[in-house]
Amino acid sequence: MIQRARIVQAFLELVAIDSPSGEEEAIAGELQRRLHELGLDVAQDAHGNVLARRAGTGAPLLLSAHMDTVEPGRGIRPVWDGDDIIRSDGSTILGADNKAGCAVILEVLQSAIEDGAETRPIEVAISRGEEVGLLGAHNMDYSRITAKTAIVIDSGGPPSSIQGQAPYHYTYSIAVTGKAAHAGVEPEKGIPAISIAAEAVLGMPQGRVDFETTGNVGTIHGGLVRNAVPEQCQVEGEMRSMEFEKVETLVSQAKTHLEDVRQRHPGARIDSQFHLEYPGYKLEPGDPAADLIFAVLRDLGFTPDPHPVGGGTDGNVFRGHGIASVVIGRGGYNQHTKDEYLVIPEMLECARVVEAAVRRVG
Ligand SMILES: [Zn+2]
């Protein structure tokens, strides 16, 4: 049975271990220790993600969370007076994003062992570097994962709060190489990379393109000194849309625009790269992850509440690797702020939902 005191204890212990993105050694060690203690086969892949497996019956199910936290997230002192809410002391985040997800996975495993319950084979993937670009999921050793369905325990709110739709996300970079020259003596010998980059930028989507599509030019770097025609300028940006066709259209318009800029400036070199960071998705009936979580929620008396989100999670990346994934809430609020707090009953509900999912054999 899911036990409140035990999951809260695990949560408090996990948030006491500093784990800012890129510095996950200690938390990875602790998670491996706990998973090993629970009898799972545990390993870290080459990137440092913690992967584990427990035998069971039927088709394997992947349970996933991430171990890293955002800043300010060092020396977290959780404040809990025994009621239903855990907060930070106001000087840091709490780290419910995503230590609550980790605690849920550990509790579900503990409960299954205690109850001698029959479960599906459970695969566990706890990623690192999620908060800085889904790095763990991008670099995960997928040869160690056989599950085709995943529950990603990494959303705010109660477990019925499901990320029902997430965008397709393209990033791009543009590098303009012109020619340096003295700006006062012989500017006509130069090719000004910054001005050409400016022309390029003006053709890139910026802001809200439509209700489900956005674009942003995020960085620009160029030039060395005031009195030289700048030789180099680099631009980085992104585009997102819930609809793949829309983001693809933006990308092709951007490429056409860059081609025009190239034609106008034959002496300059304009390199550009567009990269699909992760695919979007929309949960539809028939999707194995959606069907599983909707059925379990309804069985337990919850009303599934799928809603669109503007960002990506490990679930997007998993889908790109053929693993149908659903992202559910685990009781956190005001994530990525010093006002972050955890609602314990919702973390418990999340654990019960995940437990019901792994025990739905066959
Ligand atoms: Zn998170």
Catalytic residue among 24, 30, 45, 68: 68
Residue 247 Cα to ligand 1 midpoint, Å, equals 25
Predicted local distance difference test score (pLDDT) of residue 310:
82
Residue 254 Cα to ligand 1 midpoint, Å, equals 31
Q: What would the pLDDT profile of 151-197 be if each residue is shown by its tens digit? A: 999 999 999 999 999 999 999 999 999 999 999 999 999 999 999 99
Does residue 12 register a pLDDT over 70?
yes
Predicted local distance difference test score (pLDDT) of residue 311:
82
Whether 68 sits among the annotated catalytic residues: the reply is yes
271 with 288, same domain? no
Catalytic residue among 107, 130, 287, 355: 130
CB atoms within 10 A of CB 4: 15
Q: What would the pLDDT profile of 74-85 be if each residue is shown by its tens digit? A: 999 999 999 999
Mean pLDDT of the chain: 97
218 with 324, same domain? no
216 with 326, same domain? no
Residue 66 Cα to ligand 1 midpoint, Å, equals 7
Does residue 362 register a pLDDT over 80?
no
221 with 192, same domain? yes
218 with 342, same domain? no
The CATH number that applies at residue 253 is 3.30.70.360
Span 6-24, average pLDDT: 98
Nearest to 353 by CA among 293, 309, 272, 308: 293
Residue 163 Cα to ligand 1 midpoint, Å, equals 12
The CATH number that applies at residue 145 is 3.40.630.10
pLDDT band (50, 70, 90) for residue 346: very high
∠ CA 332-344-292, nearest 5°, is 70
232 with 269, same domain? yes
263 with 290, same domain? no
What range defines the domain where residue 57 resides? Answer: 4-166+281-359
Residue 128 contacts by C-beta under 8 Å, 6 or more apart in sequence?
A: 21, 24, 28, 47, 48, 49, 66, 67, 68, 135, 136
Q: What would the pLDDT profile of 206-230 be if each residue is shown by its tens digit? A: 999 999 999 999 999 999 999 999 9
Whether 84 sits among the annotated catalytic residues: the reply is no
Domain count, the chain: 2
Q: Where does a domain end: 278, 299, 320?
A: 278
Q: Where does a domain end: 278, 311, 341?
A: 278
pTM higher than 0.75? yes
211 with 333, same domain? no
